[in-house]
Chains A and B, each alone.
Chain A
Amino acid sequence: MAQNAAQQEIVVDRVGMDYGGGSEPAIREISLGIRKGEFVSLLGPSGCGKTTLLRMMADLLEPTSGGVGIAGGTPRQARLTRKFGIVFQTPALYEWRTVRGNVELPLELAGMPRARRRERAEELLELVGLGAFAGKRPRQLSGGMQQRVSIARALAADPQILLMDEPFSALDEFTRERLGEELLGLWSRTGCTVVFVTHSIAEAAFLSDRVFVLSARPGRLSAEVEVGLPRPRVGSLRAEPEFHRLTSSIRQLFGEAEP
């Protein structure tokens, strides 16, 4: 893995997470590499450590063994130099700020002057289809709209990596699929690397270049699936037989992984 580290945006090297206390480790020896500009999913049932792995990349957790390299440095360096944006499972918007104010938050930290900040935030909101809602409060928006604001905020400071922790799991199926399609549009425009955590096979298959399939107890990498579906992908792809073949083959991987 070290030899092609040049094109690798994220390298996970024999990472383990052991909370101790005699219980099984949450993660055992996971190694994987993610290329620059790639869209990958970490897919697995709850307890497989997919969120834990993402949090390690984001420097919100430290592995008990092994190491994570991201954007050519440690997660800590990447965080301090603001190389990645993050979208949580909940929108995590500050309700005392307007929608625009929430998107401006990373720009404020970057020291951007007020007028440009405002302009940039509105441009981003336009991009996620919420241009008309800039002055609203977060709680005046639906769950799907709130998560869009959260994505706009994560992209505000133009990060080269976007980390997403089950961002659509609290949304209904229709909203979820629409947001997935919008996300692909954003991704192709920004060219950033996306790591997307999900427990939905269809979602992972629809969005990703590659899917890392994790299994639980202990969390480990059980398969790596190359998604050959052509891009740009649109909603009708979900009805195609090749899409079904792909999702059922991934589903079979889980069947094998379970004891």
Chain B
Amino acid sequence: MRAGAAGGWKDLALWGAAALLLWELGSWLLLERLQVPLAQSKLPYPHRVAEALARDGGKLLAEAAATLGSAAKGFLAGALAGAALALLMGASRTAERIAAPYAVASQMIPILGLAPIVYGIFRDEGMARLLIAAYIAFFPVALQMLRGLKSIRPEDRELQRVLAAGRWFAFRTLLLPASLPGLFTGLKTAAPLAVTGAILVELMGARHGIGVLMLRYLYYGPSHAYLFWCTVLLSAALGLLAYGAVALLERLLLPWQRSGPAAAGKGAGA
């Protein structure tokens, strides 16, 4: 397993280097050979982007931290709400029948439209970011966790019945642990989405956050192309970081997911 992981990193580094080289080459083609107008806005030299990042890194990171902070809070709130709803729907058919259509319908509202409404109500960018991030995170968490609960084998439930176990015991020893893999599948989907959601709110008007800078540099035009690309790449990095953090937590909390031969085939994302 260790050797495999090391091989994975080596592959990743190799592919990354190849991609950078191609990027550099493409950028040069556009700028010097094809002489496309605004070539550096379309595909800037990666080394120039890196330079910009090195120069303005501190400021960019500070804004990124603001984004990540509210995304994380919103993600937590959304995940808690989603998990609670999943447990409720898992425990009661009636609750599921009532809540499921609304949970699905909630996903039909475009965030682009919802964000200004939420902002208009609270007049607070931090709160708006948090709420939108929570709103986006909530659904995949509820959906996947409910799926986990529903996939409990009937004999696993019957065992609890034969043992004359109480509700709390069954919850603690069966329902909760059985729902965790689903919960983490949902969390891994939700974490990067919460980041994008927070950035989206920033695009609509905020004072802080990586999205604010992104919009500003976009307006400034070609002179700030490198910085603009920095913000885009940083946003992607935030999403990756969010995903990675959840995946790491999953590995720590769900050791049984990895053990044995069966884990190899099911180790998606792990």
Q: Residues of A with Cβ closer than 8 Å to B?
A: 58-60, 79-82, 84-86, 88-90, 92, 94-97, 105-106, 108-109, 136-137, 139-140
Contacts and interface: CB of A to CB of B under 8 A. Distances in A.
Given A90-B155, A94-B173, A109 B261 contact: no
B98 interface: no
A85 B129 CA distance: 54
A60 B158 CA distance: 7
Q: Which 5 A-B pairs have the closest CB atoms?
A: A139-B260, A140-B260, A96-B177, A92-B155, A137-B259
Contacts of A59: 161-162
B5 interface: no
A92 B180 contact: no
Interface of A is mostly: loop
Contacts of B180: 96
Contacts of A89: 155
Contact of B161 (A60, A108, A137): A60
A79 B161 contact: yes
Counting chain B residues whose Cβ lies within 8 A of the other chain, the interface size class is 20 to 34
Interface in B245-261: 254, 256, 259-261
Contacts of A105: 159, 163, 173
A96 B161 contact: no
B169 A109 contact: yes
B3 interface: no
A95 B173 contact: no
B169 A95 contact: no
A153 to B, nearest CB: 8
Nearest to B159: A92
Contacts of B259: 136-137, 139-140
A55 to B, nearest CB: 9
A108 B174 CA distance: 13
Contacts of B261: 139-140
Nearest to B180: A96
A88 B155 contact: yes
Nearest to B255: A137
B162 A96 contact: no
Nearest to B176: A96
Contact of B162 (A79, A81, A94, A95): A79
A137 B153 contact: no
A136 B256 CA distance: 10
B156 A92 contact: yes
A79 B262 CA distance: 34
B92 to A, nearest CB: 21
A108 to B, nearest CB: 8
Contacts of A96: 177-178, 180, 254, 256
Given A60-B158, A90-B153, A139-B263, A95 B256 contact: yes
B158 A88 contact: yes
